[in-house]
Amino acid sequence: MKLHGPLTVASGPLTSKLSLLKKAAEACAGAASLKLTFITPPFHAEMRSFSVHDHVILSPTEKRLALHEGVELCRSAKRETALAIWANFTGAGADEWFRLSEAFIDAGADGLELNFCCPNLDTSSSGPGVRHGAAICTSPELTAKIVRDVRRRFTQIPVMPKIVNNTHLFRDVAAAAADAGAPAVHVVGQPVSGAPPVNPDTLKPLLPFAEGVSFGSTNGSVCLCNTLRSVAEVRSAAPALQVMASGGITRWEDCVSAYAYGADAAAVCSAVMWHGWERLKIISRGLEDYFRRKGMSGPEAVRDTALKLLTPPSELKLNPARARIDENACVGCGKCAKVGHCEAITLVDRKARVDETACISCGVCRSLCPADAILYDDDPRYGSGK
């Protein structure tokens, strides 16, 4: 699939309308994955979310597209934008998967994104024994069957299952998709399902304008670390697969991290929901600047560099290091001296002091310092005497 930019807009609220897809194209997105489509959505819904800015969006319910809506959106997007279009859909049984695939191919989709990842589905309304979304990803056998059936019947278009690391069988699911002939997978990081916190005054969950509460999918930066792990697991289990990564990708640095663990491409959603379409341009420009500074051709120059460093915890070599304070930068806020497990840092005359004999180099204090005044051996300022 030919992309016109480095980023894909992941399936979600941002890809449910033509007007939003046009904004994606204007923001230099290379591709978009359309909102999840069913033959007939199992229940009516609109989006309700618990959101913590730049951290998490939890949405237990959201509108899904019926087949005629998804197909018309695909046709319109191909007619009125330059985006490459992934059709994201889920079915129940071979007949539904075939019908959805054929309809989107006829509508001009560039690729089929088989949804094996969505947790927001009420399976009780779909009939006994029916598996939709993330439930498919619990079975390597079912994953392989759906991928194999769709690829055998529709050979003219890329088929990419979207999978989630929701069981101990995740690596087996990835390997099964590869064995069934999938050329690529879209990996979305955990946590994918949760519950909103409770208001202590009302004792009601913090889900606005809803009676009751349901478990819901979570998106945002909270997912990034699991996304990186999931990419690495897929690359290790099925090295021939191409990998698209999403879940917590909010900065250009996150894209580089995903490439380093084995991703070939990255998709964005929550960052644009919080910050607007300009964020796509910021990430794209950041990537361009990074590759230019490094003299690299693109993601392929970064791919697998972190993957090669993966090792079991028992074999992880720990190099000695100690924290040191840049007294000229220290503002005496005392945050570093409050770290609960640390007995190495104290505050003396409104300046942090480190007992190097007690410092174990955990790295937590450096992440807390608002003035960037805590140095470790890997900081170029460390040997300057500060």
Cβ contacts of 326-335, under 8 Å, gap ≥ 24:
326/372, 326/373, 326/374, 326/375, 326/381, 326/386, 327/351, 327/373, 327/386, 328/386, 329/371, 329/372, 329/373, 329/386, 330/371, 330/373, 331/370, 331/371, 331/373, 333/370, 333/371, 335/368, 335/369, 335/370
Helix and strand counts by DSSP (H, E) for the chain: 10, 19
Parallel, antiparallel, or unpaired: how do β-strands 198-199 and 184-188 relate?
unpaired
Distance of alpha carbon 169 from alpha carbon 238, whole angstroms:
14
Neighbours of 47 (CB within 10 A): 13
Residue 237, C-beta contacts closer than 8 angstroms, at least 6 positions apart: 171, 172, 174, 175, 178
- Tell me the backbone φ, ψ of residue 324, rounded to 5 degrees: -145, 150
DSSP bridge pairs for 65: 37
Residue holding tokens 């999403």? 246
Check: CB of residue 73 under 8 Å from CB of residue 34: yes
Q: Going along 83-169, which residue ranges are E strands?
A: 84-89, 111-115, 159-164
User: Per-residue pLDDT for the chain (386 aa), expressed as one digit of tens each?
Assistant: 777 789 999 999 999 999 999 999 999 999 999 999 999 998 888 999 999 999 999 998 889 999 999 999 999 999 999 999 999 999 988 999 999 999 999 999 999 999 999 887 654 444 545 677 888 988 999 999 999 999 999 999 999 999 998 889 999 999 999 999 999 999 998 777 889 999 999 999 999 999 999 998 889 999 999 999 999 999 999 999 999 999 999 999 999 999 999 999 999 999 999 999 999 999 999 999 999 999 999 999 999 999 999 999 999 998 888 899 999 999 999 999 999 999 999 999 999 999 989 999 999 999 999 999 999 877 777 655 44
Check: CB of residue 158 under 8 Å from CB of residue 110: yes
Q: Which of 230, 236, 242, 251 is nearest to 3 (CA)?
A: 242
Q: Which of 116, 94, 111, 93 is nearest to 36 (CA)?
A: 116
Q: State the angle between helix axes of 94-106 and 67-80 in degrees (0 to 180), rounded to the nearest 10.
A: 30
Distance of alpha carbon 169 from alpha carbon 147, whole angstroms:
17
pTM: 0.92
List, in order of start, the domains of the chain with CATH numbers: 7-309 (3.20.20.70), 318-384 (3.30.70.20)
